[in-house]
Structure 1
Amino acid sequence: MTIQQYLAKINTLYITGNAREHSYRGDLQNLIMAILPNILVTNEPARVACGAPDYVLTRKDVPVGYIEAKDIGVDLGSKTLKEQFDRYKSGLSNLVFTDYMDFHFYKDGELTTKIAIAKLENGTIVPQPENFDQFTQLIKNFSETISQTIKSPTKLAQMMAGKAKLMADVIEKSLNYDDQEGKRSTIKSQMLSFQQMLIHDIDNKSFADIYSQTIAYGMFAARYHDPTLPTFSRIEAAELIPKSNPFLRKLFQDIAGFDLDTRLTWIVDELVNIFLASDVALIMKNFGKSTKQEDPVVHFYETFLGEYNPALRKARGVWYTPQPVVNFIVRAVDDILKTEFDLPQGLADTSKIKIKKKAITQTASKKNAVIKEVEVEHEVHKVQILDPATGTGTFLAEVVKHIHKKFEGQQGIWSKYVTKDLIPRLNGFELLMASYAMAHLKMDMLLTETGYKPTDDQRFRIFLTNSLEEAHPDTGTLFSSWLSDEADQANAIKRDAPVMVVIGNPPYSVSSTNKSKWIESLTADYKKDMKERNIQPLSDDYIKFIRFGQHFIDKTVRVF
């Protein structure tokens, strides 16, 4: 098809007065494929309701560009289109907006050029042949993506955030569509599983945040461990996520590997392209050197979250704790354990105690099987450490650094100590998916730097859960086993662990979004007989976490 033939066909449709935006889709698709014979141009009208561009251009299954088409004669600068166009420009690096005659080319969110191949005159489409050759060359250039290596951590964080924002919008629209149609799609089932077992007040928008951050940071962690930089894919990413984080690994395999919702494929593949141009391990290593900061993970995450959704950071009270403050608190806790609790090794203590836990038993006979709950003795480390709002793992990482100093010159026993006496004592709870993934990555990076060499698939005891919700005893029977396993292990700490050290910097948020009956009933103790006119500050998340810590003190004192 030539440009002249294309214009003649859409003009025939246009002058009928019955044609709509979708009527011209196939003709534009055929024109682009005629100009680009080695490119597959896919028209995706079914995905439009979920926020996807109208066309995706791919070469060997790799996206090279996107086209969003509006009805003939629509003003592409209209304010009514601004929200959608801004969303696409922030998330898609190679993009064209068109009304089938006028074409605006964008690269990395910036308008690079525009050209018209026709115009409307007296109710008909009039070709502008003087622009045909230039248009053809622009379309060819549009499909020739040049892979530029991303070296700036700030640029990588911003690009990840742009894709994640766009993905979250698509996911939310997909979930809303499922609700309207009464459908139980895979993604909707996953959301309901999260709601049942992990985050009970989650809604479509909140789950969209979790889902998009999971994919973005799952890929980030996978690429960090990728020894084959020239190649990268969704399937490869699912295999590369460390086994020390089985939840993220299995969740990522489920949602971004083999069974990814087709409504999301295009934007996930855009993320793949970003990481193909990134050596994440080198970027993070250089980032630490360039900023002269001990914790590049924190600064990378803050850049991402600030770009992705500053309001989310504020709503959850997420703020960076200065490293000297973290270091002081860890050293102070170590000193208190030595002087007040008669534990000479402080945070490095390896002593154990026996606790009683509830267990389910079943008689051997299948015919007359009897299931009952019994109490059994279980041996655990005495100095259990918990950061209930662990964020990116800053406090847990500082504990590791502090303890590692005691093993200088003893690298031979360090790995054995970490496996048997350190990882089993370090516990963290986190509510935000991105920081949860980064906490795991930070622990992985830090322990590797110390010379730790794992001998098995031991997981880090950092869990995706809401600290301020009570343990739920029935999760083991619900939904997929890997999701219930994450919830069960978090519940086990809440219910059974004799936590001796609660450490960290909980979120500050006067307008608390954590309003579970469990934590509200505990903080009610602080409000008794108060005659203050404004008692709202006692509902600050920070106060709730203090009450959470007191709850563990009360519980653990009974054990000791």
Structure 2
Amino acid sequence: MDIRFDRYLKALAANYRDGGTEHTGRAALENFLNTFAVDAMAPGIEVQHEPKRDADKGSPDFKVKRQGMILGYVEVKEIGANLDKILKSDQIVKYRKLSDNIVVTDYFHFIRIDGAGKILDRQSLAFPNDIESRTIQVNPDKAEAVSKLLAAFFSSPPQGLQRAQQLAVALATRSKLLRDYLTEELVRQTKVHKEGRLHGLYDVFREQVFHELTVTEFADAFAQMLAYGLFLAKLNASDDEIIRLDNVRRFIPGSFRLIRELVRFLEEMQETEYDEAKWVVDEILSIVNGLAIANIREDLSFRQRKAISRKIRAGDEEEHRLFERDPFIYFYEDFLRAYDKETRKARGVYYTPPPVVNFIVRAVDDILKNQFQIADGLADHKKVTVLDFAAGTGTFLLEVMQRIFDNIGGPETGKADAVVREHMLKNLYGFEYLIAPYTIAHLKLSQYLQGQRPSADRK
């Protein structure tokens, strides 16, 4: 007989001998689940018990993770609960949007479902009155059936996303949850005290970006920034590097105050007041850690986008370079379409294809040189000022920077540091109404400049 089941039922009997709630048997269930995690085919599986939260906004009771990615959830209800009714609850519907691998249990009955709500397996180990006897007997057939259900749960691979559209939906779904939690916490800090990091960030944004910014608008934008910032952090890390809250600082450029505050807030999310939101951030970390980066990069490539249907293809090596340059800067459009389609439409968040951006920037540079007799074109720091009044995620500004470096002979010349310091940082401007793309533009532009400057000048 499998000794794990005997120990589990005896532990439940001891815990519930004098009554109890749905939380009374959590320790016994956690130990029981951990035995299956140890025996699972894949190494490095971790069963993480989440603390008790409000019923309407809590996280799953147990998260099962493998190598930084969430493998599935276990939701626990009180003994004797109607699990079929629970499966139809808003709570489970919410969890199904996040995972295809969920187990719902009342300690004795186990039901495994997928993201569509389909019941993959259901088994009963025992009934509550079975543990009232002094001699607990484990039915071997029932134990074997539950063992197979849990083995299937633990052997299910984490969901590693390979398509851009899947990624956009996954990030958007979790960003909406994060927005709701941040709004509640910000309202609480506003009423109770204003010294919290989140409220401090709100003040920074109102001071530096948009003076009339509301709490709701900030929470909405900041949720997008957090999700997208973690995505960019993964892009900056090596393929096998696992992004965590305690190491994310290494992968997000901190070259201006808003980004520094963003990184500091991610580190502070370990504090108890952010427990309600932290599990959603863990979800986002799971998504980005599980990305098939090569597949995502290929899928985001302009070779795969709708331009193909209009027969717009790279005609030569130079144009191919334009199509392939940093496609992730355009991913924000896909993300916002999944997150808030109406905002995307109302604010005009649509990418300009790289060859068009390149053509416009080259044309302006040529006009400066030929018509205005400015020999250095866009690189002239005394006569040229650039303003992108709808900067989005920085596409045009990035191309202008590239053109400036081209005009001075490349970033490795002796002129590069002076051009960055005296021209790019002083004479290139971008306005953007939406805070998330505004911040993403800063991330991408600062990352680009750090990559182009000589190594001795990087800070």
What's the TM-score, normalizing by structure 2?
Answer: 0.71
CA distance in 2, matches of 1:414, 1:155: 44
- State the one-letter code of the partner of 1:90: K
Summarize the Cα distance change of 1:78–1:409 in structure 2 as closer, same or farther, 3 Å threshold.
Answer: closer
* Structure index of larger Rg: 1
Aligned counterparts of 1:410 and 1:251: Cα–Cα separation in 2? 29
Q: Which residue of 1 aligns with 2:278?
A: 265
Separation of aligned partners in 2, 1:63 and 1:399? 41
Tell me, what secondary structure is at the counterpart of 1:66?
A: strand
Aligned residue in 1 for 2:28: 30
What is the distance in 2 between the residues matched to 1:431 and 1:250?
A: 21
1:318: how far off? 1.9
Tell me the CA shift for residue 10 of structure 1: 9.6
2:427 is aligned, of 410, 420, 425, to: 425
Q: CA deviation at 1:277?
A: 3.0
Distance 1:309 1:77 in 2: 31
Opposite residue 389 of structure 1, the aligned amino acid is A
| Greater shift in the superposed pair: 386-395 or 130-139 | 130-139
For the Cα contact (< 8 Å) 1:223–1:240, is it kept in 2? yes
The Cα shift of 1:408 comes to 5.6
State whether structure 2 residue 85 is matched by structure 1 residue 81.
no
- Paired with 1:203 and 1:117, the residues of 2 have a C-alpha distance of 51
SS at match of 2:24: helix
CA apart distance, 1:117:
1.8
Structure 1 residues 48 and 343: alpha-carbon distance in aligned structure 2, compared to 1, 3 A threshold: farther
For 1:321, what is the secondary structure of its paired residue?
A: coil
The answer on whether the counterparts of 1:49 and 1:173 sit within 8 Å (CA) in structure 2 is no
> Tell me, what secondary structure is at the counterpart of 1:412?
coil
Distance of 2:118 and 2:197 partners within structure 1: 35
Q: 2:203 aligns with which of 193, 198, 217?
A: 193
1:229 CA displacement: 2.4
User: Structure 1 pair 104/341, CA: closer, same or farther in 2 (3 Å)?
Assistant: farther
Matched, 1:219 2:230: yes
Instruction: State the one-letter code of the partner of 2:228.
Output: Y
Alignment match of 2:266 (pick from 256, 261, 270): 256
Aligned positions of 1:56-135 closer than 5 A: 56-57=63-64, 64-70=71-77, 72-74=80-82, 76=84, 81-82=89-90, 84-92=91-99, 94-98=101-105, 102-106=109-113, 111=118, 113-117=120-124, 131-135=142-146
Q: Please, which of 297, 300, 303 is the counterpart of residue 284 of structure 1?
A: 297
CA deviation vs aligned residue, 1:337-370 (integer Å, no higher than 9, x gap): 457766444323222xxxxxxxxxxxxxxxxxxx
- Residue 167 in 1 paired to residue 178 in 2? yes
Q: Secondary structure at the match of 1:46?
A: coil
What is residue 220 of structure 2 aligned with on the other side? 209
Unaligned 5+ runs, structure 1: 352-381, 459-560
Q: Distance in 1 between matches of 2:201 and 2:57?
A: 17
Map 1:75-474; keep pairs closer than 5 Å.
Answer: 76=84, 81-82=89-90, 84-92=91-99, 94-98=101-105, 102-106=109-113, 111=118, 113-117=120-124, 131-144=142-155, 146=157, 150-176=161-187, 182=192, 186=196, 188-190=198-200, 192-194=202-204, 196-197=206-207, 198-227=209-238, 229-243=240-254, 245-262=255-272, 263=275, 264-278=277-291, 280=293, 283-284=296-297, 287-288=300-301, 290-291=303-304, 293-294=323-324, 296-323=327-354, 325-327=356-358, 329-331=360-362, 333-334=364-365, 337=368, 343-351=374-382, 382-407=383-408, 412-413=413-414, 415-416=416-417, 418-420=419-421, 421-443=423-445, 452-453=453-454, 455-457=456-458
**Structure 1 CA distance for aligned equivalents of residues 224 and 253 of structure 2:** 17
Mapped to 1, the partners of 2:353 and 2:33 lie a distance apart of: 56
**Maintained 8 Å contact 1:76/1:98:** no
Post-superposition offset of 1:78? 6.9
| Matching residue of 2:61 | 54
Aligned alpha-carbon RMSD (Å) = 4.4
Indicate the residue corresponding to 2:135 in structure 1: none
Residue 423 of structure 1: CA displacement? Answer: 4.0
* Counterpart position of 2:311: none
Secondary structure of the structure 1 residue equivalent to 2:97: helix
Q: Using a 3 Å threshold, how does the CA distance of structure 1 residues 403 and 213 change in structure 2: closer, same or farther?
A: same
Q: Which residue of 2 aligns with 1:45?
A: 52
Q: Which structure's residues are more often strand, by fraction?
A: 1
Contact 2:176 2:223 in 1 (8 A): yes
SS in 2 for 1:91: coil
Unmatched tracts of structure 2, length 5 or more: 39-45, 133-137, 305-313, 315-322
Deviations 1:206-242 (A, max 9, x none): 3332332232232223222224724432222112212
Cα separation, 2, equivalents of 1:339 and 1:242: 38
CA contact (8 A) 1:70 1:99 kept: yes
Using the aligned pairs only, state the percent identity: 28
Contact 1:94 1:106 in 2 (8 A): yes
For residue 192 of structure 1, report the CA deviation from its aligned partner. 4.2
Distance change in 2, residues 1:99/1:201 (3 Å)? farther
Q: 1:51, 1:169 within 8 Å by CA — same for their partners in 2?
A: no
Contact preservation (8 Å) 1:160, 1:304: yes
TM, length-normalised to structure 1: 0.60
| C-alpha distance 256-347 of structure 1, shift in aligned 2 (>3 A) | same
- 1:396 Cα shift? 0.9
TM-aligned CA deviation for residue 385 of structure 1 = 1.6
The one-letter code sitting in structure 2 at the alignment partner of 1:430 is E
Letter in 1 for 2:431: F
CA distance in 1, matches of 2:431, 2:270: 27
Structure 1 residues 238 and 107: alpha-carbon distance in aligned structure 2, compared to 1, 3 A threshold: farther
